[in-house]
Amino acid sequence: MLSYDRFGEGKCNDQAREAIRLTFHDAVGRSHALKSSGAFEGGGADGSIIWFANVELADPANDGLEDIVLALKDVADNHNVSYGDIIQFAGAVGLSNCPGSPRLAFYAGRPDPVAPSPSGLIPSPTDSADVLLARMSDAGFTAEETVALLAAHSVARQKTIDPSVPNMPLDSTPEVFDTQFYTEMLLKGTCYPGRGRSAAEVKSPLKSTMRLASDAAVAQHASTAGTWRALADNPGAMQTAFREAMQKLATQGHTNLTDCSSVIPTAAPAMRPPAARPSANTQ
């Protein structure tokens, strides 16, 4: 089973996190503005990051994805699966390794990509909220859907932003898919976990976690702060919003796909109390 062979015996580990991250980086490369100008808009969730790895992995935005790209290429080539399908399948299976996560839909039948994703379409952790939301809107996502997609950071760790603190998580429960990421973002930042010299991070409330500048900006933006707090308060709503936004992301640019969601495992429940909104020291 892919979850066993590729993702550390079903654990919410680095391989699972890389697979989850790869689903976004492959699929978000789509632009309505480019299409309107007559240029190639990008193929969305088409596997171009594997097919054209020599081009797309040269983009600094894709740093850290080399190992998972090579691993999934090997699986796809050996099982006659399209690269677009293997990326979305692996991401859904990888997420299921993380307790508390929703069971993602999986649709198969993506054709091979026709070209590399256009450059500059992957949001950066240095982006302001306005820039990030504009990019996601250009890719076809509302502000609310963008906030929901950031739930992936509940199980994320950083490797390239500050090498002095490798594998630093973005919240205090990186092995559990929960609302802690949203809740902790409401706390006042007081320290940096490492050197704190990157424009991609801002002060965190905990020495044991890193706060991305773009996450903090979206949490505080007038158009998204309400959605942010609503998801922080409601684990069920967060799971539903993330599942729906991920289904939209995974099918971007494709029609006539086959629903194969039954092959995706169900995650174990999160064995911890729900996150609580901080009552003081909030931003």
- Are 156 and 232 in the same domain? yes
Residue 51 sits in a domain of what CATH number? 1.10.520.10
Kindly state whether residue 103 falls inside one of the protein's structural domains.
yes
- Are 169 and 52 in the same domain? no
CA neighbor of 235 nearest in space, from 269, 264, 187, 189: 269
Kindly state whether residue 269 falls inside one of the protein's structural domains.
no
- Are 118 and 133 in the same domain? no
Q: Is the pLDDT of residue 211 over 70?
A: yes
Residue 166 sits in a domain of what CATH number? 1.10.420.10
pLDDT tens readout for residues 85-140: 999 999 999 999 999 999 999 999 999 999 999 999 999 999 999 999 999 999 99
Kindly state whether residue 52 falls inside one of the protein's structural domains.
yes
Q: Is the pLDDT of residue 280 over 50?
A: no
pLDDT tens readout for residues 129-141: 999 999 999 999 9
From 25, 79, 221, 254, the catalytic residue: 25
- Are 75 and 31 in the same domain? yes
Determine whether the annotation assigns residue 37 to a binding site: no
- Are 86 and 190 in the same domain? no
Determine whether the annotation assigns residue 46 to a binding site: yes
How far is residue 98 from each of residues 109, 173, 217, measured CA to CA in Å? 26, 11, 26
Q: Is the pLDDT of residue 6 over 90?
A: no
279-283 contact pairs (CB < 8 A, 24+): 281/187, 281/188, 281/205, 282/186, 282/187, 282/188, 283/186, 283/187, 283/188, 283/189, 283/216, 283/219, 283/220
Q: How would DSSP label each residue in 57-70? A: TTSGGGTT-HHHHH
244: its two tokens: 């729906």
- Residue 278: what pLDDT? 47
Determine whether the annotation assigns residue 171 to a binding site: yes
If you average pLDDT over residues 41-56, what whole number do you get? 98
- Residue 195: what pLDDT? 86
Determine whether the annotation assigns residue 178 to a binding site: yes
Kindly state whether residue 189 falls inside one of the protein's structural domains.
yes
Cα separation, 85 vs 56, in Å, equals 18
- Residue 271: what pLDDT? 78
Kindly state whether residue 277 falls inside one of the protein's structural domains.
no
- Are 6 and 108 in the same domain? yes
- Are 43 and 138 in the same domain? no
Kindly state whether residue 193 falls inside one of the protein's structural domains.
yes
pTM of model > 0.85: yes
- Residue 252: what pLDDT? 86
Active site residue 221: no
Q: Exposure of 240 by Cβ count < 10 A (0-12 exposed, 13-18 middle, 19+ buried)? A: middle
For residues 107 and 164, is the Cβ–Cβ distance under 8 A?
no
If you average pLDDT over residues 132-155, what whole number do you get? 99
pLDDT tens readout for residues 238-279: 999 999 999 999 998 899 999 999 999 999 998 766 555 544
- Are 116 and 253 in the same domain? yes
Q: Is the pLDDT of residue 4 over 80?
A: no
Q: How would DSSP label each residue in 230-241? A: HHHH-HHHHHHH
Segments in 161-221 forming alpha helices (H):
180-184, 213-220
Determine whether the annotation assigns residue 204 to a binding site: no
Domain count, the chain: 2
- Are 112 and 12 in the same domain? yes
161: its two tokens: 């932003």
Determine whether the annotation assigns residue 128 to a binding site: no
- Which residues form the domain of 47? 1-122+246-263
- Are 90 and 32 in the same domain? yes
Cα separation, 147 vs 210, in Å, equals 18
Kindly state whether residue 62 falls inside one of the protein's structural domains.
yes
- Are 40 and 146 in the same domain? no
Q: Is the pLDDT of residue 196 over 80?
A: no
If you average pLDDT over residues 162-171, what whole number do you get? 95
Kindly state whether residue 54 falls inside one of the protein's structural domains.
yes
- Are 113 and 145 in the same domain? no
